[in-house]
Amino acid sequence: MTSADLDAAALFTLDALANSVAGRNSAPGRILSQWFGANAASNAVPDAGRVAFLLGGLCHILETDDLHRESVVHPGCVVVPAAFALAEKHGLGGRDLLIAVLHGFEAAARVGMAVGPAHYRIWHNTATCGPFGAALAAASLLKLDDDAAMHALGNAGSQSSGLWQFLETGAMTKHLHAGHAAEAGVRAAELASLGFTGPARILEGEKGFFRATCPDADPDAVMRAPEAPWQLVRTSIKPWPSCRHTHPTIDAGEELRARMIADGVAFDAISEIEIGTYQAALDVCDRPVATSDYEAKFSLQHSIAAALTCPLVDFEAFGDAARTACGPLAARVKVKRAEPWAAAYPASWGGRVVVRLASGAEYAAERMHAKGDPEAPLSRDEMIAKARMLLAHGDAQCSDRLVDAILGMASGGVLPHLNLY
Q: How confident is the model over 246-264, as pLDDT tens digits?
A: 999 999 999 999 999 999 9
Q: What is the pLDDT of residues 178-196, one digit of tens each?
A: 999 999 999 999 999 999 9
Rounded CA separation 6/97 (Å): 10
A 10 A CB-CB count for 1 gives 11
Check pLDDT > 80 for residue 204.
Answer: yes
Of 20-29, 38-47, 212-221, 376-385, where does mean pLDDT reach its minimum?
Answer: 38-47
Q: Is the pLDDT of residue 137 over 70?
A: yes
Tens digits of per-residue pLDDT, 307-353? 999 998 989 999 999 999 999 999 999 999 999 999 999 889 999 99
**pLDDT for the residue 1:** 84
Check pLDDT > 70 for residue 175: yes
- Select 244-367's CATH number: 3.30.1330.120, 3.30.565.10, 3.30.420.10, 3.50.50.60: 3.30.1330.120
Q: Band of the pLDDT at 45, cuts 50, 70, 90? A: confident
What per-residue string of b and e applies to 190-210 under the rule 16 or more CB within 10 Å gives b? bbbbeeeebbeebbeeeebbb
Q: What is the dihedral of CA 233, 236, 237, 240, to 10 degrees?
A: 170
Domain ranges of the chain: 3-239+376-411, 244-367
User: Of all residues in the chain, what percent carry a pLDDT higher than 70?
Assistant: 99
Question: Up-side HSE of residue 373: CA atoms within 13 Å toward CB?
Answer: 20
pLDDT at res. 41: 63
397 confidence band (pLDDT: 50, 70, 90) = confident
Q: Poorest-confidence range of 18-32, 68-82, 301-315, 388-402?
A: 388-402
Contact yes or no for 108/75 (Cβ under 8 A): yes
Q: What is the pTM of this model?
A: 0.88
Average model confidence (pLDDT) for the chain? 95
Asked whether the predicted pLDDT for residue 170 surpasses 90, the reply is: no
- Residue 156 φ/ψ region, left for φ over 0, alpha for ψ in the -120 to 50 degree band, beta for the rest: alpha
pLDDT mean over 34-41: 83
DSSP 42-102: TTSPPPHHHHHHHHHHHHTSSS-S-BBTTTTB--HHHHHHHHHHHHHHHT--HHHHHHHHH
Is residue 307 within 8 Å of residue 257, measured between CB atoms? Answer: yes
Q: Indicate the pLDDT class of residue 278, thresholds 50, 70 and 90.
A: very high
Confidence bin at 421 (pLDDT 50/70/90): confident
pLDDT of 420 above 80: no
User: How do residues 112-129 score in pLDDT, each as one tens digit?
Assistant: 999 999 999 999 999 999
Reported as a pLDDT band with limits 50, 70 and 90, residue 42 is low
pLDDT of residue 419: 78
User: Which CATH number fits the domain 3-239+376-411, given the four candidates 1.10.4100.10, 3.90.1150.10, 3.30.1950.10, 2.60.40.10?
Assistant: 1.10.4100.10
pLDDT at 96: 96
Find the mean pLDDT for residues 389-416: 90
End-to-end C-alpha distance for the chain, whole angstroms = 33
pLDDT at 398: 80
Confidence check: pLDDT of 377 > 70 = yes
Q: Which residue has the higher pLDDT, 415 or 21?
A: 21
Closest CA to 233 of 38, 402, 66: 66
pLDDT at 155 (0 to 100): 98
